[in-house]
Amino acid sequence: MKVQQNIGIVNALIRITFGFTVLAWTTAKLVKKPWRESYILMAALAAMKIGEGILKFCPVTALYKKSQGLLNSEGSGKWDEKQ
């Protein structure tokens, strides 16, 4: 699988900022209630957003673009008539 950058610099900075904010919030919550599994899940999702921002690659965006390419390349008649 070839990984290319598929988000812009502003989008990457927003993801990094959001990720660090949520990670700080969940870390503070985990100090008070370490048995809560939902905080661990939120911390993992925040770390994923930080990684997406640093790499400038979003797997959901890549999947969406790939599915749009497949829809357009199939030429299913109905979609071509509407456009």
23: nearest Cα among 45, 54, 51: 45
What pLDDT is recorded for position 76? 56
- Contacts of residue 67, Cβ cutoff 8 Å, sequence gap at least 6: none
What pLDDT is recorded for position 68? 87
Contact 20, 27 (CB under 8 A): no
Question: Averaged in consecutive runs of 10 residues, what is the pLDDT profile of the chain (83 residues)?
Answer: 85 96 96 90 96 93 88 62 50
Q: Does the pTM of the predicted model rise above 0.85? A: no
What pLDDT is recorded for position 71? 79
